[in-house]
Chain A
């Protein structure tokens, strides 16, 4: 068996085993439960949520911000590593592209879930004002979805052509689909030039688009005079936070797929070591921004800022705050600074910790600020000072997370998760170098 055949056998999409089927059905069931809850929310209105006049953004928005942050993985790993010519990226870029596509699609859906009247969605386009960051968000999300899809699609073309051949006998129907999607790829020089140019352009485009997406997301908050949000640091803070969430998600998914598809020969300890170093760098940058974000208000001691800080540091959000900062940042940093901490299994747990920490971090960005209103009202109900999501909100939120994982699962089922053609090219090039050395 030559290199290409071995690669195709190892990396071509395979039917799920028992656990894969259970996993997929679990995600489908959670998604259906969420869809039912959402239909009920549309019928009864947002009264079914625990949002109120103070906490008018709840778990939906924090979940949306999490998805937006996670989608940054496409820009931060694929594009940056490609443009900086880091060759170790090859086995992980496809997974990053898939996570990016799934996250940004779900971000777009989640923001619609938060709308009290989704039937008025079109009004955003008809009556939108360019002065509003909401409109910038409405523009950048579809743009980023298209860019992420292109970033996933262009490098896939040679692999789809390979799969067309591979499945010709075993699954003609699937082969036909791969053939259509491969756009008649023959690997001719002209096609390769066009493809490589396009990949370079889309990789280059992903970076400013990703930065815009994260910055706009940050400006949704910082353009309001709200305590905890009113910060010129917010754009950069969100970009660094998105890098953490994105790389954390990447590490976790890469570990799971490596185990499930037995890809230890392709995604090695070396790759985890590199990803670990990358993650620790992003965590350190984010920690630095966090220190800026929380320390300066302590010094300037504005009353509202101090109240907000007390709520976070010693108040009712203290357990979450310390979990997010210690569990989601400091523990990963300490673990990843050691070589043993950058082995696959510890990295998986670190990645998981980072992702969970990142999700709750967005909850902490959104909720406590809203509960400290800019203009407090007199005699408001006691309930307005507290917010915890209702069953509907939890069901819908879990469903969006399940749907994101479902998109990843479906793409993983039908697409090669490691670029086959590129891996083959790299391995052949390596063999040539070794042969030349021997000669």
Chain B
């Protein structure tokens, strides 16, 4: 074999080896165990507000549940065995994502007026592909406040929007929005009657900013309708007296809002003391000058 052939074979071997590197890598990657992603999705509809899917991605890794962050999820509408992509979201550091639907008209229901949405994860180096389907029907809550015998009530009616029929025996929560978690009012369970309605008395004395209370009537995580929420604002609360001292001159204010007595008294003391110090320093100069005058007199 000539020397040239040897070199050719050697280069060919190196070239094929280089070509095979991705294959080896792929094989190795396939051997590495991938974790399964668990997707959770809730459909939430706020009356006269946004409609969205609350999505959560978790995984069990080393016998521990972890939030799966930074994975891209595809949201599709399933209709007639076809999936139409609605958009993509990426999970945050807590493994959560929110996909806002512009309107329910953007997706198509099946023959039973049920909307089918699929949330898919295409998989990556660490996690296997996964998907989650959710189905829901459109429901409406009509809520308003009525007054009977000087008692205020929250009246709410639950309606199946597709059939325009009243939904009875459904549990609705009535609550007031608070800073950390809502304050539930009325009974623990308020079941809709045959008219699809609940009537919950609103107790007096609930504080609210300027007396305005924000009530929520919630159908929570229903198997058929998801979460539907109606929000009603009403001036039924006791106005919260703003006790903030933010604009006042207090001991805990920033320096531009120092209490006046703390500006006047210490400054009087400071200027008083430093005034005397200046006077004493002038006296030192005067003492020094007296000698000069003495000398001048002597010279004269």
B-binding residues in A (CB < 8 A): 127-131, 136, 139, 143, 146-147, 150, 153-154, 157, 183-186, 188, 190-191, 194-195, 197-198, 201-202, 205, 208-209, 212
**What residues on B are CB-neighbors of A139 within 8 Å?**
266, 270
- Cα distance, A191 to B287, chains bound together (Å): 5
Q: Verify A131–B258 contact, CB threshold 8 A.
A: yes
Interface readout for B276-300 with A: 1 if CB under 8 Å, 0 if not?
1101110110111011101000000
User: With a CB–CB cut-off of 8 A, which chain A residues contact B273?
Assistant: 143, 147, 205, 208-209
Given A153, A183, A202, which contacts B288 in the complex, CB threshold below 8 Å?
A183
Chain A residues near B286 (CB-CB < 8 A): 194
- In the complex, what residues of B have CB within 8 A of residue A127's CB? 255
Residue from the set A183, A188, A205 with the largest chain B CB neighbour count within 10 Å: A183
Distance A127 CA – B251 CA, assembled complex (angstroms): 15
| Residues of B52-95 contacting chain A, CB below 8 A | none
Residue from the list B255, B259, B263, B291 in contact with A183, Cβ < 8 A: B291
B287 CB contact (under 8 Å) in A183, A201, A202, A209: A183
Complex Cα gap A359–B251 (Å): 32
Q: Contacting B292 at CB < 8 Å: which of A128, A143, A184?
A: A184
Asked if A130 and B255 make an inter-chain contact with CB atoms under 8 angstroms apart, the answer reads yes
- A191 in contact with B258 given A143-B274, A197-B283 (CB within 8 Å): no
B254 in the interface, Cβ–Cβ < 8 Å?
A: yes
Point out the residue from B253, B277, B290 that lies within 8 Å of A194, measured CB to CB: B290
- With both chains docked as a complex, state the minimum distance between the C-beta of B261 and any C-beta of chain A, in angstroms: 10
Contact A202 B290 (CB under 8 A): no
Quick check: is B20 within 8 A (CB to CB) of the other chain?
no
Main secondary structure, interface of B, reads helix
Known contacts A139-B270, A143-B273, A201-B276, A130 near B291 by CB under 8 Å: no
- Cα–Cα distance between A139 and B274 once the two chains are bound (Å): 11
Greatest chain A CB density within 10 A among B259, B286, B290 is at B290
User: Top 4 nearest A-B pairs by Cβ distance?
Assistant: A184-B291, A183-B288, A129-B255, A198-B283
Assess the B276–A205 pair: CB atoms within 8 A.
yes
- Complex: how many Å from CA A409 to CA B270? 32
20 CB contacts below 8 A, A to B, read: A128-B255, A129-B253, A130-B262, A136-B266, A143-B270, A147-B273, A147-B277, A150-B277, A150-B280, A184-B288, A186-B290, A188-B290, A188-B291, A188-B294, A190-B290, A194-B283, A194-B286, A197-B283, A208-B273, A212-B269
Bound-state Cα–Cα, A191 to B291, Å:
8
Chain B min CB distance to A163 (Å): 16
Residue in B252, B259, B273 with the greatest tally of chain A CB atoms within 10 Å: B273
Query: In the complex, what residue of chain A is closest to B252 when comparing beta carbons?
Result: A131
**Bound-state Cα–Cα, A209 to B280, Å:** 15
Task: Provide the main secondary structure of the chain A interface.
Answer: helix
A186 touching B294 in the complex, CB below 8 Å, given contacts A130-B255, A143-B274, A212-B269: yes
Nearest A residue to B289, CB-CB: A184
User: By the criterion of a CB under 8 Å from any partner CB, how many residues of chain B are at the interface?
Assistant: 28
Q: Are the C-beta atoms of A191 and B255 separated by less than 8 Å?
A: no
Q: Which of B252, B254, B258, B276 has the most CB of A within 10 A?
A: B276
Q: Among A136, A154, A184, find the residue whose CB has the most chain B CB atoms closer than 10 A.
A: A184
> Which of A129, A136, A190, A202 has a CB less than 8 Å from the CB of B280?
A202
- Could you tell me the distance in whole angstroms from the C-beta of A336 to the nearest C-beta in chain B? 35
User: Which of B259, B280, B291 makes the CB contact (< 8 A) with A185?
Assistant: B291
A184 contacts which chain B residues (CB < 8 A)? Answer: 287-288, 290-292
Closest to A147 in B: B277
CB nearest to B269 among chain A residues? A212
Q: How far is the CB of B293 from chain A (nearest CB, A)?
A: 9
**B277: contacting residue among A131, A146, A185, A212, CB under 8 A:** A146
Digitize B236-279: 1 where CB-to-A-CB distance is under 8 Å, 0 elsewhere.
00000000000000011111001100110010011001101101
Asked if A186 and B291 make an inter-chain contact with CB atoms under 8 angstroms apart, the answer reads yes
Interchain CB contact under 8 A, B254 and A129: yes
The reply to whether A198 and B280 contact each other, CB–CB distance below 8 Å, is yes
Known contacts A191-B290, A198-B280, A201-B279, then 10 further A-B pairs from the complex at CB < 8 Å, ordered by chain A residue: A130-B255, A130-B258, A131-B262, A143-B277, A183-B291, A184-B290, A184-B292, A194-B283, A201-B276, A205-B273
Question: How far is B277's CA from A201's CA once the two chains are assembled, in angstroms?
Answer: 10
A86 to B286, CA, bound (A): 29
Residues of B contacting A147 in the complex (Cβ-Cβ under 8 angstroms): 273, 277
In the complex, chain B residues 31-55 whose Cβ is within 8 Å of any chain A Cβ: none
Q: Please, which residues of chain A bring their CB within 8 A of the CB of B251?
A: 131
A131 CB contacts on chain B under 8 angstroms: 251-253, 258-259, 262
Nearest A residue to B259, CB-CB: A131
**B-side contacts of A183, CB under 8 Å:** 284, 287-288, 291
Across the interface, which residues of B come within 8 angstroms of A153, CB to CB? 284
Chain A residues near B281 (CB-CB < 8 A): 150
Report B270 CB to chain A, min CB distance, Å. 6
- In the bound complex, residues from chain B placing their C-beta under 8 Å from that of A197 are 283
Judge whether B287 and A185 touch: CB under 8 Å: yes
Q: Which residue of B lies closest to A195 (CB)?
A: B287
* CA of A213 to CA of B294, assembled, Å: 41
Q: With A and B bound together, what is the CA distance between A157 and B251 in angstroms?
A: 45
What's the least CB distance linking B14 to chain A, in Å? Answer: 53
Complex Cα spacing A209 to B252, Å = 26
A143 to B269, CA, bound (A): 11
